[in-house]
């Protein structure tokens, strides 16, 4: 794939893979509602079910457990609403879509109960156990598999074991992890899991909620009974077909994890060489191979994002962005990073079309920006 920029923001969205785009285009040229019984409808249904098999194969689930919907945000919102549980327990580093849905749905204990993380960004299992033990009210526990800002991988299987022992239902936002590391729904032991196509080379606007058979689940809207009665509305056939293709191709990306991790490690080594006082967040914990979250001492995150963009390098602030605005990172705050330091963090994330040249372009631009800001001094000139 030819790029005019060094694109290092895969955790925000990955470039659509050519094969996925071609599959979507082909599906758009076809006609037929998957719920229709005529031949065109049956062909559309066949395409949807083939994609369902592919997505299920990527995440180690049964095809009947895959519910297609519009993406990770809808999957998270539906998971937190579908059980009807009023007590919701979430980690302090969840994605905004989980935190906002939890705040809206939780009516026990005055809102969602937050479980802290340690300085490496890993959820505190002891605190989770203590939180659940405070009440006999049935709970829904939601803990992500990998953090979108730091890439830190959470001990979800242990979370599920602790939560189930207390009679809780467990949801996992696996949006950032699927397609980057092996993910097995059964091994994780969770009851529901969110996945999104555009994080792994599929199109935006389509995703899936994996729902374990037997879990209490109430659809959030009436309609025609699509998706096993769990999500009403005509399926987005082109998006679903492309999602299936991207899911199948994601196995190749997972096989490249060591190569991508080596590029990430080289980036962090070079940053530390330029600025020994720079923070590398989550580096002591298990992480996604593609994600680096690090600071430029004394230079605001927004300044870095803009400066690097002008140099042809696309990264994001350590915090998720809303309407194009950089906000303080609740993730870094939860990890105990001082606010002033957190305000100098950015995230670089690699993926299927990344190369070693992208790392070189980022380092070159980062070095120049650091020197221009007056923070780099001699270190910027002498670092290799």
Q: What is the pLDDT of residues 45-88, one digit of tens each?
A: 999 999 999 999 999 999 999 999 999 999 999 999 999 999 99
Q: Is the pLDDT of residue 318 over 70?
A: no
pLDDT at 94 over 70: yes
Residues 156-198 pLDDT 10s: 999 999 999 999 999 999 999 999 999 999 999 999 999 999 9
Lowest mean pLDDT among 87-96, 221-230, 289-298, 372-381: 372-381
Span 252-308, pLDDT tens digits: 999 999 999 999 999 999 999 999 999 999 999 999 999 999 999 999 999 999 999
Assign 108 a pLDDT band (cuts: 50, 70, 90). Answer: confident
Whether 225 and 77 share a structural domain: yes
pLDDT value at 231 more than 80: yes
Tens of pLDDT, residues 113-156: 999 999 999 999 999 999 999 999 999 999 999 999 999 999 99
Task: Identify the CA nearest to 207 among candidates 352, 97, 76, 20.
Answer: 76
Look at residue 266 in the predicted model and tell me its pLDDT. Answer: 97
Contact 113, 90 (CB under 8 A): yes
Q: Is 80 exceeded by the pLDDT of residue 364?
A: yes
Residues 355 and 248 in one domain: no
Q: Considering only CA atoms, which of 304, 294, 290 is closest in space to residue 271? A: 294
Stretch 85-98: mean pLDDT: 97
CATH number at residue 272: 3.90.1150.10
| Rounded-to-integer distance, Cα 252 and Cα 332, Å | 32
Whether residue 348 sits in one domain with residue 213:
no
Cβ-based neighbours of 324, under 8 Å, separated by 6 or more: none
* Collapsed DSSP state (helix, strand, coil) of residue 181: strand
Residue 1 lies in a domain: no
Q: pTM for the complete prediction?
A: 0.93
Q: Does the structure show a pLDDT above 80 at 99?
A: yes
Residues 6+ apart with CB under 8 A from 15: 1, 3, 7, 201, 351, 352, 353
Q: Give the C-alpha separation, 269 to 252, whole Å.
A: 26
**264 and 130 within one domain:** no
pLDDT at residue 330 greater than cutoff 50: yes
Tokens describing residue 234: 């005509």
Average pLDDT over residues 235-264: 97
The pLDDT, as a whole number, for residue 382 is 40
Q: How many residues does the chain have?
A: 384
Measured CA to CA, the distance from residue 318 to residue 307 in angstroms comes to 15
| Mean per-residue pLDDT of the chain | 93
Do 318 and 331 touch, CB atoms closer than 8 A?
yes
Pair (210, 308) in one structural domain: no
**Structural contact between residues 293 and 150, judged by C-beta atoms closer than 8 angstroms:** yes
Flag whether 115 is in a domain. yes
Residues 288 and 227 in one domain: no
The Cα–Cα gap between 91 and 127 comes to: 10
353 and 229 in one domain? no
The last residue of one of the domains, among 223, 252, 281, is 252
Task: Name residue, tokens 């899991």.
Answer: 193
Contact, 99 vs 142, CB < 8 A? no
Per-residue pLDDT tens over the stretch 2-26: 458 999 999 999 999 999 999 999 9
Domain count, the chain: 2
Identify whether residues 10 and 22 lie together within a single domain.
no
Do residues 158 and 212 share a domain? yes
Query: In terms of domains, do 242 and 261 share one?
Result: no
Report pLDDT digits (tens) over 211-220. 999 999 998 8
Domain end position, chosen among 252, 272, 293? 252
Of the residues 321, 355, 356, 377, which is catalytic? 321
Does the annotation mark 293 as catalytic?
Answer: no
């Amino acid at each position: 794939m030819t790029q005019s920029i060094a694109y290092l923001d895969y955790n925000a969205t990955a470039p659509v893979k050519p094969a996925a785009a071609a599959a979507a285009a082909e599906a758009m040229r076809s006609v037929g509602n998957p719920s229709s019984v005529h031949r065109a409808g049956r062909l559309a249904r066949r395409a949807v079910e083939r994609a369902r098999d592919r997505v299920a194969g990527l995440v180690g689930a049964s095809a009947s457990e895959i519910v297609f919907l519009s993406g990770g945000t809808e999957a998270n919102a539906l998971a937190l609403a579908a059980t009807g549980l009023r007590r919701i327990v979430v980690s302090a580093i969840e994605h905004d879509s989980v935190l906002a849905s939890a705040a809206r749905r939780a009516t026990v204990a005055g809102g969602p109960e937050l479980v802290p993380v340690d300085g490496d960004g890993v959820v505190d299992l002891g605190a989770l156990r203590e939180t659940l033990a405070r009440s006999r009210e049935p709970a829904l526990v939601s803990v992500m598999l990998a953090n979108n800002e730091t890439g830190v991988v959470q001990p979800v299987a242990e979370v599920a074991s602790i939560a189930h022992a207390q009679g809780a239902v467990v949801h996992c936002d696996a949006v950032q992890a699927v397609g980057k590391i092996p993910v097995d729904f059964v091994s994780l032991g969770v009851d529901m899991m969110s996945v999104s196509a555009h994080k792994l080379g599929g199109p935006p606007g389509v995703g899936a909620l994996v729902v374990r058979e037997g879990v209490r689940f109430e659809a959030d809207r009436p309609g025609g009974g699509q998706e096993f009665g769990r999500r009403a509305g005509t399926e987005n056939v082109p998006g679903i077909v492309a999602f299936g293709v991207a899911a199948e191709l994601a196995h190749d990306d997972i096989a490249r994890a060591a190569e991508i991790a080596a590029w990430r490690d080289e980036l962090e080594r070079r940053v530390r060489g330029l600025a020994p006082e720079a923070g590398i967040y989550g580096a002591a914990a298990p992480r996604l191979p593609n994600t680096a979250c690090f600071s430029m001492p004394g230079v605001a995150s927004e300044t870095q994002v803009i400066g690097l963009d002008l140099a042809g390098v696309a990264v994001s602030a350590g915090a998720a962005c809303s309407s194009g605005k950089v906000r303080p990172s609740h993730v870094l705050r939860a990890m105990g990073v001082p606010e002033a330091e957190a305000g100098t963090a950015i995230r670089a994330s690699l993926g299927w079309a990344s190369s070693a040249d992208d790392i070189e372009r980022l380092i070159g631009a980062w070095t120049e920006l650091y020197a221009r800001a007056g923070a780099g001094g001699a270190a910027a000139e002498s670092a290799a």
